[in-house]
Amino acid sequence: MRDVAVVGFTQSPSMRSEPDRNEVEILIPVIDALRKQTGLTSADMDFICSGSSDYLAGSSFAFVSGLDAVGAWPPVCESHVEMDGAWALYEAWVKIQMGYADTALVYGFGKPSMGDLPITMALQLDPYSVMPLWPDTLSIAGLQARHCLEKGILTFEQMAAAAARDRGHAKGNPNAQVKGDFTVEGILAEPFLANPLRKSDCAPISDGASAIVLAAGDRARELSKRPAWIRGIEHICEPMDLGVRDLGRSRSTEMAAAKAGVGKGKIDVAELSAPFTHQEILVERALGLGPDTKVNPSGGALAGNPLMAVGLSRIGECATRIWSGEADRAVAHATSGPCLQQNLVCVLEGE
Amino acid sequence: MAELTAVVGIGQTKYQAKRLDVSMPGMIREAAERALADANCTWKDIDAVIIGKAPDLFEGVMMPELFLNDAIGGAYKPMLRVHTAGSVGGSTGIVAASMVQSGVHDRVLCVAYEKQSESNATWALSIALPFSLATVAGAGGYFAPLVRGYIRRSGAPEDTGIRVAVKDRQNALRNPLAHLHLEDISFDLVANSPMLWDPIRYLETCPSSDGACAMVMEKASLASKRSGKVAWIHATEMRSEPTMFSGRDQVMPRATLDNAAALYKKAGITNPRREIDCAEIYVPFSWFEPMWMEGMLISERNEGWKMTYEGATAIDGDFPVNMSGGVLSSNPIGASGLIRFAEAARQVRGLAEKHQVDGAKKALGHAYGGGSQYFSTWIVSSEKP
Interval B288-328: pLDDT, tens = 999 999 999 999 999 999 999 999 999 999 999 999 999 99
pLDDT at A205: 98
Q: What is the pLDDT of residues B23-62, one digit of tens each?
A: 999 999 999 999 999 999 999 999 999 999 999 999 999 9
Q: What is the pLDDT of residues B207-233, one digit of tens each?
A: 999 999 999 999 999 999 999 999 999
**Are B240 and A240 in contact (CB < 8 Å)?**
no
Q: How many Å lie between the alpha carbon of A93 and the closest alpha carbon of chain B?
A: 9
pLDDT at B258: 98
Q: What is the pLDDT of residues A155-177, one digit of tens each?
A: 999 999 999 999 999 999 999 99
Q: Are B140 and B49 in contact (CB under 8 A)?
A: no
- Distances from the Cα of B185 to the Cα of A245, B167, B209, B283, B313, angstroms: 53, 9, 19, 18, 18
Share of chain A above pLDDT 90, in %: 95
Residues of chain A found within 8 Å of residue B127, distances taken between Cβ atoms: 58-60
pLDDT at B385: 96
pLDDT of B132 > 80? The answer is: no
Q: How many Å lie between the alpha carbon of A319 and the closest alpha carbon of chain B?
A: 23
**Are B80 and A67 in contact (CB < 8 Å)?**
no
Interface test with B, best of A3, A63, A98 (most B CBs within 10 A): A98
Nearest partner of A14 among A194, A138, A197, A179, judged by Cα: A179
pLDDT band at B123 (very low <50, low <70, confident <90, very high): confident
pLDDT of A271 > 90? The answer is: yes
| CATH superfamily entry for domain A126-197+229-349 | Thiolase/Chalcone synthase (3.40.47.10)
**Are A64 and B243 in contact (CB < 8 Å)?**
yes
Give the chain B residue whose CA is nearest to the CA of A87: B80
* Host H or E run for residue A28: helix A23-38
Q: Which of A67, A127, A238 sits opposite B242 (nearest CB)?
A: A67
**Are B77 and A237 in contact (CB < 8 Å)?**
yes
- CATH code: domain A4-116+205-228 is 3.40.47.10
pLDDT at A237: 98
Collapse the DSSP code of A256 into the 3-class scheme (helix H, G, I; strand E, B; otherwise coil) and give the result.
helix
**Are A98 and B98 in contact (CB < 8 Å)?**
yes
Residues of chain A found within 8 Å of residue B129, distances taken between Cβ atoms: 57-59
pLDDT of B138 > 90? The answer is: no
**Are A91 and B67 in contact (CB < 8 Å)?**
no
Average pLDDT for chain B: 96
- Find the mean pLDDT for residues B147-169: 98
Residues of chain B found within 8 Å of residue A99, distances taken between Cβ atoms: 1-2
Residues of chain A found within 8 Å of residue B63, distances taken between Cβ atoms: 53, 55, 82-83, 124, 336-337
pLDDT of B135 > 90? The answer is: no
Q: What is the pLDDT of residues B239-277, one digit of tens each?
A: 999 998 999 999 999 999 999 999 999 999 999 999 999
Q: What is the pLDDT of residues A58-94, one digit of tens each?
A: 888 888 889 999 999 999 999 999 999 999 999 999 9
pLDDT of A100 > 90? The answer is: yes
pLDDT of A337 > 80? The answer is: yes
Give the ipTM of the model, two decimals please: 0.97
- Find the mean pLDDT for residues B186-194: 98
pLDDT at A65: 87
Positive or negative torsion for Cα A131, A133, A139, A140: negative
Give the residue with greater pLDDT, A245 vs B130.
Answer: A245
Q: How many Å lie between the alpha carbon of B146 and the closest alpha carbon of chain A?
A: 19
Distance CA(A93)–CA(A103), nearest Å, equals 9
Share of chain B above pLDDT 90, in %: 91
pLDDT at A57: 87
pLDDT at A119: 94
- CATH code: domain B5-120+208-223 is 3.40.47.10
Average pLDDT for chain A: 97
Work out the burial of residue B62: count CB atoms within 10 Å of its CB; fewer than 13 is exposed, 13-18 middle, 19 or more buried. buried
Residues of chain A found within 8 Å of residue B254, distances taken between Cβ atoms: 74-75
pLDDT of B1 > 70? The answer is: no
Residues of chain B found within 8 Å of residue A63, distances taken between Cβ atoms: 83
Distance CA(B230)–CA(B9), nearest Å, equals 8
pLDDT of B130 > 80? The answer is: no
pLDDT of B87 > 70? The answer is: yes
List, in sequence order, every beta strand (DSSP E) within chain B: 5-12, 48-52, 79-82, 107-115, 195-197, 200-201, 210-219, 231-240, 278-280, 362-369, 374-381
Give the chain B residue whose CA is nearest to the CA of A63: B84
A115: CB partners within 8 A, 6+ apart: A56, A58
pLDDT band at B128 (very low <50, low <70, confident <90, very high): confident
Share of chain B above pLDDT 70, in %: 97
- Any idea what the Cα angle at residue B241 is, between residues A96 and A115, rounded to 5°? 90
Q: What per-residue string of b and e applies to B15-54 under the rule 16 or more CB within 10 Å gives b?
A: bbeebeeebbbebbbbbbebbbebbebeeebbebbbbbbb
A 10 A CB-CB count for A262 gives 26
Residues in chain A: 351
Distance CA(B78)–CA(A344), nearest Å, equals 9
Q: Are B111 and B52 in contact (CB under 8 A)?
A: yes
pLDDT of B136 > 90? The answer is: no
Nearest partner of A204 among A262, A125, A142, A117, judged by Cα: A117
Q: Which of B66, B101, B127 sits opposite A336 (nearest CB)?
A: B66
Query: Where, residue-wise, is CATH 3.40.47.10 in chain A?
Result: 4-116+205-228, 126-197+229-349
Q: Which of A61, A63, A81 sits opposite B80 (nearest CB)?
A: A81
pLDDT band at B64 (very low <50, low <70, confident <90, very high): very high
